[in-house]
Amino acid sequence: MKCTILSNGEYGPLQMYKQTILQSDLIICADGAADVIYEMELIPHVIIGDMDSISPEVLQYFVRQEVKIIKYPRNKDFTDTQLAITYAEQQGAGEIIMLGTLGKRLDHTLSNLFSSMDMVQKGKKITHYSPECIVYVFSGELEITGNIGEIISVMALTDVCQGVYETGVAYPLEDVQLEIIKPYAVSNHLIADQATIKVREGILAVFHYK
């Protein structure tokens, strides 16, 4: 099952996300992201969070539309996005598209990237979209399609990533070790319309600036 989670981060032009959302089996808004989907004139399946950033009129509108509202107390141990990820897993999502999870606050951006790791370890496919780039959080193998010259940066999210390979880029890697404290595989770029990135052990974040 394909799920889209909307968080309350940066989006850019909203129309660029609409088709992705419509192709999802499950649409979850984390709190204030409901304002974003309201502006898109779309209806989510679930709104989840402590409801401290959603506009009251938007909340009431979606209540009238019989959208499922899952409210948590403000004093909680998890972010609204983490709650949305957990809910998606409980519903059986195998692929999660994450919108609005990057930008605005750096702490939230890092939290959202690291919160993806548990899902990757469980075999889920995770992709973050922002106005500037796509971020793939994965283990195993990833194929990227793009245009020659587009920037590709690869960073370890686990302490150590073993057996990292990159092909289709200006500076290929072959069976190297990447460490979270030595992020040297940044600002590479495509030399073909497709690149392949592999990691034998560990979890990578791949930033694709289109």
Identify the band that residue 75 occupies on the pLDDT scale cut at 50, 70 and 90: confident
- The owner of tokens 């200006």 is 170
**Block residue for tokens 């088709």:** 19
Residues with Cβ within 8 Å of 48's Cβ and at least 6 positions away in sequence, in order, are 28, 29, 30, 31, 69, 70, 72, 80, 83, 84, 87
| Full set of structural domains in the chain with CATH | 1-131 (3.40.50.10240), 135-210 (3.40.50.10240)
Q: What is the pLDDT of residue 210?
A: 85
Quick: pLDDT tens for 136-179.
999 999 999 999 999 999 999 999 999 999 999 999 999 999 99
pTM: 0.92
Per-residue confidence at 77, pLDDT binned at 50, 70, 90? confident
